Amino acid sequence: MLTVFAVAPLTYPGFFEAQSGFLPAFHVEHLSDAPNWGRIAEPLRGEGKLPYLLVRPFYELSGSGVAAVKWGYGLTFLLGALGIYAWTRHWLGTRGGVLAAVVYTYLPWHLGTVYVRGAYAEAWLWALWPPLFWAIDRLNEHRLPAALAALIVGSPLLAALFWTQPGLAVLTLPLLLAYGAVGPGRGPWPLLRLVEASALMLLLLWIAARRLGEAQIPFRDQFLHPFQLLSAAWGDGPPYQLGLAAVGLSMVAVALWVASRGGGTGESQAEPSTTADLAVSLGRALGFWVAALVALVLLSLPLSAFVWQATGLERFLTYPWQVLALAGLPLAFLAGSVIRLDERLATLPAWAGLVALVVLASYPYLAPRFTQIDPGPEPVAMFQPVEADAPQIVLLDYEVALPTETTPTLTLTLTWQAVAPVEGDYTVFVHALAEDGTKVAQRDTRPCNGECPTPTWQPGEIITDRYQLALAPDAPASPSRLAVGLYLLESGDRATVVGRDDRTVFLDVR
């Protein structure tokens, strides 16, 4: 129930203007070509096909890729929250687990993954990670039924990680292995087998990554600055903030933990039913997650550039700040542990106040921009700029208003969407052609008559662009088709049109 505010924007009609645009919906429509439809195939840095297979039944029921993707996003919120609760309840108690799940759901980075970046595969990772840590806890219990349950759940989930986004899956392995060393009842079996298998998998993938080319986007130019992690600014770009509520509660948890180790406060560290062994394990877990959070944050900053380069791990991700997705796990665990560390916070109304604080602190991130445009199963055309390695501009739709007795001009309305920043300043050409191919009218101008040049287009933003063509007096009553393309005015070079050699899109006059 507490995920309702995170899921609510998905119920709004239309689709939100995320940076990935409608590409996730097109991938569901073209499942055989997913996830590389309209993209360059990147086996490690890119997405896997599993997230699109999971929502294919919703596409079959609705007939809409947009509806299927929205159902998928909703499931990731729900499954992620349930997974965190199931995992942390053992450590933090019922109310601590609920608080951890709410923090995990409403982290700015989590909401931005869905509503700003539109990183569909990465959103599914948020749902897959928590059950894996639950499985490691069961393995560490050294009881055969628990170990069997862990293997039955964990093995397919681990495979699912690599079929969802291999790069982040690789970086998850060290965290999973390290976590296995802090659980209750530590021992070599069956964790040793997991270590051996994961280490071998990591080695093989690292060798494969060394053979790959460089990323399309310079990796070392994408590190964050510390202020971005705590900034209150909220704009069109990805929210890099760790979250006011999550960081604040985590700091309180660390303070309570340090004070309890020093015997300073006398607050109860655990519920009466908690065993001494679990209390000791909780201390180890808190120390582990503090160290993990610090390490993940440092990996997103420029000072860690040598680590990425020396290890070759920069080949697994497009941006170093993608590791912040994993920071959701320590933030949720640490924030939820305040309930376990101070029993007064587990009582009403303190507990309800903490839950409400988390939701309210993240509420500004729940107002994405929406569009009512329905592009259908595929866009009209995709353009690859001269300087780009992949398509960056999508022509979603067009509309033609034919000349009338009172309006002697033809009006063409184009609906554009960028799915990546466009560097070149492109001019649009529109040619009206007769049935024999003769040009009867022409219009060349920058989009929106120069008021919205392509370098200002934000990824995901919808651009509505109109062109009026005055037909020659001796022209046919109406052209049979229109030719549209993009070119650089200074050089005359045209942007490539995916699937066409003439770098031109021909539109029927309807």
Question: Tokens 């995990």 identify what position?
Answer: 104
Tens-digit pLDDT profile for residues 466-481: 999 887 666 666 688 9
Q: What percent of the chain has pLDDT over 70?
A: 85
Residue 347 has pLDDT above 60, yes or no: yes
User: Mean pLDDT: which of 162-171, 324-333, 356-365, 427-436 is highest?
Assistant: 324-333
Q: How far is CA 99 from CA 94, 292, 320, 378, 482, in A?
A: 9, 20, 29, 41, 57
Q: Lowest mean pLDDT of 51-65, 221-235, 373-387, 430-444, name the range.
A: 221-235
The Cβ-side half-sphere exposure at 477, using a 13 Å CA radius, reads 2
* Mean pLDDT over each residue of the chain, to the nearest integer: 85
Residue 408 has pLDDT above 90, yes or no: no
The pLDDT score that the predictor gives to residue 281 is 75
Which residue ranges does the chain devote to CATH 2.60.40?
381-508
User: Which two tokens mark 399?
Assistant: 């509309």
168 membership: H or E segment, kind and range: helix 166-179
User: Mean pLDDT: which of 157-161, 171-175, 306-310 is highest?
Assistant: 157-161
The pLDDT score that the predictor gives to residue 429 is 95
* Contact predicate 79/127, CB 8 Å: yes
Tens-digit pLDDT profile for residues 119-143: 999 999 999 999 999 998 888 777 8
The pLDDT score that the predictor gives to residue 204 is 62
Residue 264 has pLDDT above 80, yes or no: no
The pLDDT score that the predictor gives to residue 298 is 95
Question: Tokens 């990796």 identify what position?
Answer: 219
Tens-digit pLDDT profile for residues 69-110: 999 999 999 999 999 999 999 899 999 999 999 999 999 999
* Dist CA 312 CA 299 (whole Å): 13
The pLDDT score that the predictor gives to residue 249 is 95
> Taking residues 325-343, what's their average pLDDT?
94
The pLDDT score that the predictor gives to residue 246 is 94
Which tops the pLDDT comparison, 403 or 451?
451
Residue 343 has pLDDT above 60, yes or no: yes
Residue 212 has pLDDT above 70, yes or no: no
Which tops the pLDDT comparison, 477 or 51?
51
Which candidate, 419, 447, 445, 452, places its Cα nearest to that of 431?
445
Residue type, 215: A
360-365: which pairs have CB atoms within 8 A and are 24 or more residues apart?
361/106, 361/243, 361/244, 361/245, 362/106, 362/107, 362/108, 362/111, 362/243, 362/245, 363/5, 364/234, 365/106, 365/108, 365/111, 365/112, 365/115, 365/234, 365/239
Cα angle 120, 381, 407; round to 5? 125
Tens-digit pLDDT profile for residues 390-400: 889 999 999 99
The pLDDT score that the predictor gives to residue 26 is 92
The pLDDT score that the predictor gives to residue 199 is 62
pLDDT-derived band at 200, boundaries 50, 70, 90: low
Find residue 444's DSSP bridge partners.
429
Residue 493 has pLDDT above 70, yes or no: yes
258: Cα separation from own chain's centroid: 35
The pLDDT score that the predictor gives to residue 434 is 84
Tens-digit pLDDT profile for residues 234-253: 555 677 889 989 999 999 99
User: Which two tokens mark 190?
Assistant: 């069956």
> Taking residues 161-188, what's their average pLDDT?
78
Find the farthest-apart pair of alpha carbons in the chain and give their distance in angstroms, rounded.
Answer: 95
Residue 268 has pLDDT above 50, yes or no: no
The pLDDT score that the predictor gives to residue 146 is 82
The pLDDT score that the predictor gives to residue 215 is 54
The pLDDT score that the predictor gives to residue 446 is 93
Is residue 411 classed as helix, strand or coil in its secondary structure? strand
Residue 276 has pLDDT above 70, yes or no: no
The pLDDT score that the predictor gives to residue 403 is 78
pLDDT-derived band at 272, boundaries 50, 70, 90: very low
User: Which two tokens mark 36?
Assistant: 């590389």
Q: Which CATH architecture best describes the domain 381-508?
A: Sandwich (2.60)
